[in-house]
Structure 1
Amino acid sequence: MAKTRNRWTNYLKQLRHKNRSVILTWMLSYVSVLLVPILISGVIYGATLNVVKAEINRANQSILLQMEQAIDNQFKGIESLSVEVSLNRRIAAFITADADLSDSDHYEIYQIANDLRVYEIANDFLEGIYIYYKSSDTVIARNNRMNSETLYDHIRFEEHMPFQSFREFFDQWYIKGYHTVVVSEENEWRPTVMYAQNVMSNVINQPGAVLLFMIDRSKLLEQASAPDEGTILILDEDDRVIASTGDPLAEPAVQYGDMPEESGQLEFQTADGRLVASYTTSSITGWKYVMTLPAAVYHQKMNVVEQLTIVSILLCLVVGGGVTYWLLKRNYLPIHALIQSLSFKAGVTFDRGSNEYSFLEQALSSTYHEKEELHYKLNQHNNTLRSHFLQRLLKGQLDSHIPLHESFSAYDLRFPQDGFSVILLRIEHFGKFHREDEEQVRNKRLLHFLIANVVEEVARKSAHAYAVELDQELLACIVNHPLASTAEQRAELGRIAEETMSFISDHAHVQLTAAISMQQEGEDGIFQAFQEAVEAMEYRIVAGSGGIIHYGDLNGGDSQGAAPGGYFYPLKAEQQLIAIVREGQLDKAKALAHEIIQKNVTTEPFSFHTAKCLMFDLMATLQKVIGEIRIAGKPDVPDGVRAIERLMQCQTVGEMRGQLYDMLELLCGYVNNNREYSSNPLIDKVMKYVNDYYHDENLNISMIGEAFSMTPSYISKLFKEHAGESLLDYINKTRLAQAKLLLTGEKYTVSEISLMVGYNDVNTFHRIFKKFEGITPGRYREVK
């Protein structure tokens, strides 16, 4: 079977790959149409099956509900009867009788038995009524009197139930409900159902009575109309059969736990075959009313629906298959004749198995495709060639033997006006187009395309413009406009640059810097305008990035001129800066550096090379300071080499100034944070002496002065000048540091720790600890 299936699978794969003829496509289409009624038949089958199943379940549920209502009505009648019996005057009065019965009590028992006989006769649903009086241990029935032991011999909840458990049931304070019990009958125990309810005494602390109604189990299912091959049974929570239309002693086919819902239906397997059970739950007793049917009987009507559906599907296949074959043959003949005619007349070979429509389409459109492809390639190369031509035009590298107007015509460039200017756009930050992977190159190309289109569109409002990419971060736009005054030309070009930068910033979060040349006349002035724009862009080192730089603002455009008076960084200024940094005076150091930079920068223009020379000189000065302030054993001195590397990566004076100020802050912070280490070796010896003798209770300033042959006041003053804190505070902090380590454990008490760190008075230890730590030693131990 598996080999046959694999063979058919391979055949279908070959058919799909090798035969793409239109006849196969039509056949699949017709088969798809043929599948519609089959699918509809399947849907109708499913819907009908659900309807039939729902009707069967509804009929079964209806039978169960009728049975439930009939039985529950009988149970309600029993509960109403129990209320009536408990209100009987003689029955209620006998509760006060004690164990020693008098003659009048015996007469009352006779009267109560007659009353019970009347109640039983009025309700044929009952087998008997018993009243158990706890005070007198008396059980009264309609025809006899007994005690609890005799009742135990007659009625039990289970056959082997101990008498003590039997008595414990009647000793409950509140009794009301249905129970399955066994009744002794001819030395055999017969199962039945009992309803029990207690009768309360009107006297406080007086034991009451218990009414027992024995229900005739054979009459529970009298009104149940079970199917011919089905069975109806009643199950309690312990899976005991209360009543059944079948064998009441047989094990139930379904368990109570298999039916968790209030009502429903389930199918299961038994030793005799599969069964289907419909069930509902009594709202009074909680018992399950179950009706079981053989699965074959339950599915009988469904099988009829299934057979009808199969017959309809077969008819669809037979009739539809014949119609499909006839339509295929009739519709394919014209296509086949057209293909043969085209193959013969045009000399084009048609491969059998190929798609006829595709063959016709390819034959008719191949010429159009070739034409479009050729046109696309020409346009693609034209764009590349035009970009290359514009780059050479800006740089003045064109061949002199070819007239410019001919080159313009060849590359579809139109310059109808006499005025020419160049706008350079530099990408400072790529914004949304920034990527750290291989997509960055594609993103840059896309951003260049976007900027070029935007600047051309903005400029087109008043002039002709052509944008070209120069490198990864720089684009140039040639603007051809009417000759105008300098102010008008400046305003119009400024508008173009500003609108372009604003649009790109708003939509792509890309920051641009624009450099604008002066107005030039004629095509030969394009090279001059480009040079002016390049010189203006170089000035971004001083002006900063993100703005618009006009070449006309550069003092006549001489970007290589030097500031009057020459380069300013005299030896005196360097020595003054070194002295200020060594003292750690950050504000004065920044002010002096700012003054030196301003004296060089404010006289425009200020070249990039001059700025780097100045910044490297300032960094070299700070490198000298590092050598002078370096302290042995303190590795956190600022790295001057790394600072120079970061300075080399800066592209504007503002960035250089920021790197210089950062280095000044690090050096001044280093000086201020390590002043104590600039002292003489005596301070280190004092600190070591305190660390060695902190546990000595006699350790104080006088003891340290004697150890170093100095007066206490002098050594205290010297220590504070170099260490930044008093000697007494240093002693206390050293002792408290060791105390905190001991407090983290549970080995020593607070008093013992006080002595171990040099405090002979625990109160003094508490006071000093709270002064420096904010909490007491005991609280510190709890927190840690």
Structure 2
Amino acid sequence: MAEVEGMTRQLAINQDLNVLLNDHLAQRDVYGIWRTMRNVLTFGQTNDFLQHYYIYLANYDLIVTSGSSYRPEHYYEFFHYDDLTFEEWKQQILEKAHRSEIKPLTSFSERDNETSVITYMQSLPLDSFNDSSPANVVVVIDARTIAGLFSGLIDNYGGWVHIHDGKGNTLALQGNMESDVSQIMNDPAFDQNKTSQFYKNDLVITTRSDKSGWVYQAGIPRSAMMENADQIKQASWFITGGAMIVGLLFGLYLAHRNSVPIHRMISIMKEQFGRDELTERNEIDFLSGNIANIISKNKQLENELTRQLPLVRDAFLRRLIAGEFESRDEIASAAQQADIALHNGKGYVGILQIKGYAGMDSVEILNELNAARLLMKQAFTEIAGSLPMTDLGSDKMVVLFFTDEEREPGPDEELRIAGVIEALTKQVLHEYKMFLQVGFGEPFDSVSEAGQSFDQAKQALEYAVYMNQKETVWYREARIVYTTYYYPLDTEQRLISTIRAGELEEAEKIVNLIMDQNLHQRELSVEMKQQLVGEIKGTFLKLMDQKIFAESDWFESTKRRIIDIGFTEPLESIHNEILAIMEELCRYISNKKKDSHAKLIRQIYEYTEAMYAHPDLTLYRVAEHVERPEKYISHLFKEVTGVNYSDHLIKVRMDRAAILLAETNLTVDEIAAQVGYNSSHSFRRAFKRLIGISPSTYRQSHEVV
């Protein structure tokens, strides 16, 4: 009925119809009537309730239908209500104003065919409030059309349908209860507001429309409802039993499939532990017991590592200031292990010495110094927070001040450090009566240069002690006169280690430092210069005697170049020649590393191709096969290939799965097992993430091709 009302609203805004409504000319607008007939023709094609409707135009005294136009008396000859005369019909239906009115079910004659209809009436325009209106839209709805909507209920169950308006007027009635409708409506035992209830032998369902106020009642005989109950019960038992059996079988399959990883884990644990304890315990007890043992040992190891962390930090700092690391990557890894933040790798190295204990080494003095260093560290932490610190002998302590992006090395940072040292000096003097002497080196721009800053801090401290200065002494302030060349043993060792690691940039920094110290910071005599050149040549000759360089094709020529460096040549020329030789050595080491890495990566590729079908293939297994640490393999593989090993393994498996999907008839579950997946769900998810479509879609696309 909503569409019927919608049709009347559309007619109300139809321009052609509005022209006719307002036409008061004596001559009839035949063309306008024809256009109106054409416009209303389509309404009956969209709704079964609009098969029979007409528009009465009062000013023309004309009835317009979708197919023709009639004078009222001619229309009445073919279509009329049995209980209304022509005058009554014209007065009550055509000439009276209506506002969405419905005439209840009434006998109706349509071209001598008897039927029953309900009638919907609406005046135009929609705001017609007088007793008459320019036009009326009348929709005649055959009761058989309404009954057809419920034919399934009536034909299949022998039921009945009754539709009436809010006043009790019957709008539609169909089924075997026509004689008892009035009895139901008047029976006080029947609750008209109850949705479903039994009345006599019928289940009566009642629904009320909030919009129209119509009441829809449908009755289904109890016998029809129970007719198929036994069949439904048997089908329910069969379906339920079948579902339980299928579920049980599927559960057993899943249990078997999901237990495979557990059995593999048990076999791996038996292999790792080297014994079989299953003779006395079942597999679950064996697995849970060993997992609990692993967790317990892991916690013990974690506690032990935490307990030893101060020792690890101390060892890292000692190696850092001694220049024992070969590369910045090694420094970064060791710092991470020691839980020390390097920030941007720039900063200062300072040495603090407790004054007045030089040359004293009795047990009482050493114990007192140990306590004094501990008190200094606590005071440092209170003033400046947690700083990397380590002991240097019994009366000295090394501290590193790292800068960050907000605080770069420079006058402001040095002023801040001097303030921290001054506060520390005052605190230990006031509370513990200790006097401190402090020396700081020049700032280092790379963490690998911290050893150089440490050497300078030692020289600054020696100057402070020699001059008995109480303030902090910076290396640049120490007026030190040098009579010998600068080439300490630890610097030589750091240079050798850096070249052997192939770190050209770090090696160049060390050589440039040596040359800067001897060219610009010192005035060397001829004899000292010759000794320095001899020391540097000796360092490179020691390098050439190592096996890795002795096996090279250019060993003899490079060794001859080193020997031919003249003692009388300018240090600048010697500097350039040393840099050229060093570049050749580092390039050779880098190439050897690349070859070694390429060989190792090739081994990993081959092992993965051979073992990808094993679900327990992991980075741990690969590292075990190539006899390298797991973290080293992970870092190297990502560095060389640009992807993580886990991503590479997934790609290998998915590539193989794609071939099997395109060239075989194996199921997706079978393919998942063949490429190393215990779970087909995990396989599908990984396949779609990498390929972009599901395995089944991929197979279908290749079948089409």
Same fold, judged at TM 0.5 (above): no
* Superposition TM-score, scaled by structure 1 size: 0.27
Q: Which has the higher contact order (CA 8 A, sep 6+)?
A: 1
Q: Which has the larger radius of gyration?
A: 1
